[in-house]
Amino acid sequence: MQWFRADLHIHSVLSPCGDLEMSPERIVDEAIRKELDVIAITDHNSTRQAPEVIAVGREKGLLVLCGAEINTREEVHGVALFENEDEVVHFQQYLDVHLPEIQNKPGFFGHQIWVNRKEEIMGEESRLLWSALDQSLEEVAEKVSQLKGLFFPAHIDRPVNGLLRQLGFVPEHLQADALEVCQYSSEWDDNYPDLVKRFSIICNSDAHTLDQIGRRYTMLWMEALTFSEIRLALRGQKGRKAKPIVR
């Protein structure tokens, strides 16, 4: 068993709020420079940039997971992560069906393009990726579970789009593998003892610029750097565990 550094919430140039410098090779190089062992590309309501980052990461020895940050009907954000290409394809189809037909305004919200490793444009999403799906938090979590992915509510302590601020509670039967917070300290355990008993608490950068990558991350105590081990660590099972780190 050993500790691995994970930043499982990073945006690319595809997200309307993502900086134009957030291209596949730059993200991977910065993650390696920050001594991260695994990262996840989690653009708003889309998985289309992640495969290119995965390919670059594979060449350079960095594990990259494919995922998305979903905006649910309640305006709560959650992160979904997947291991296999087939699962990603099915989840992208799900996102395409449930994303509303609200057109993006690039001059106002930002461009929504995905690029190859040479930073050449491969495609553009015309619908506004910031929009809320017509699916509830629990429906999204259930879909991710059906596809054997990982799911955690994002930045639950944030005033905007955070679960605790939007709903005021964590649904009793929510199928979540962990809870992500922005700021973590021992006071968090004291203030939310019931949640700490139910879930592992993790931190990720939610990076939109290169310098933000790894500003917050999670240490994962695991036997190996694999998706199945990450699942066990997030769930705190079989001796694996997760420890949030805020720099």
Q: Are 234 and 242 in contact (CB under 8 A)?
A: yes
Q: What is the pLDDT of residue 119?
A: 87
pLDDT of residue 47: 97
With b for 16 or more beta-carbon neighbours within 10 A and e for fewer, the 189-227 pattern comes to eeebeebeeebbbbbbbbbbbbebbbbbbbbbbbeeeeb
The model's confidence at residue 111, banded by pLDDT at 50, 70 and 90, is confident
pLDDT at 197: 85
* Confidence (pTM): 0.94
Categorize the per-residue pLDDT at 240 as very low, low, confident or very high, splitting at 50, 70 and 90: very high
- Burial of residue 27 (number of CB atoms within 10 Å: 0-12, 13-18, 19+): buried
Alpha-carbon distance values, 171 to 59, 96, 154, 222 (Å): 41, 26, 14, 28
The pLDDT of residue 169 is: 84
- pLDDT tens, residue by residue, 223-233: 999 999 999 99
Minimal CA–CA distance to 69: which of 44, 97, 100, 99? 44
The pLDDT value given to residue 14: 95
How confident is the model at residue 54, as a pLDDT?
A: 96
Compute the distance between CA of residue 177 and CA of residue 165 in angstroms, rounded to an integer. 20
| Per-residue model confidence (pLDDT) at position 167 | 85
pLDDT classification of 247: cutoffs 50, 70, 90: low
CATH assignment of 2-246, given 3.20.20.140, 3.40.50.150, 3.30.420.40, 3.40.190.10? 3.20.20.140
The pLDDT tens digits for 53-78 are 999 999 999 999 999 999 999 999 99
Confidence of residue 18 (pLDDT cuts 50, 70, 90): low
Length of the chain as a residue count: 247
Write the pLDDT tens digit of every residue in 146-175: 999 999 999 998 888 999 888 888 888 899
Residues whose CB is less than 8 angstroms from the CB of residue 129 and which lie 6 or more positions away in sequence, other chains included: 14, 15, 16, 43, 44, 45, 46, 99, 104, 112
146 CB-near residues (< 8 Å, 6+ apart): none
Distance CA 179, CA 157 (A): 10
Nearest to 151 by CA among 180, 171, 124: 180
Residue 10 above 70 pLDDT?
A: yes
How many Cα atoms within 13 Å fall on the side-chain side of residue 105?
Answer: 3
| Per-residue pLDDT at 74 | 95
Decide if pLDDT at 142 tops 90: yes
Q: How many CA atoms lie within 13 A of 150 on its CB side?
A: 28
What band does 184 get if pLDDT is binned at 50, 70 and 90? confident
Q: Taking the CA atoms of 184, 187, 188 and 193 in sequence, report the sign of the dihedral they define.
A: positive
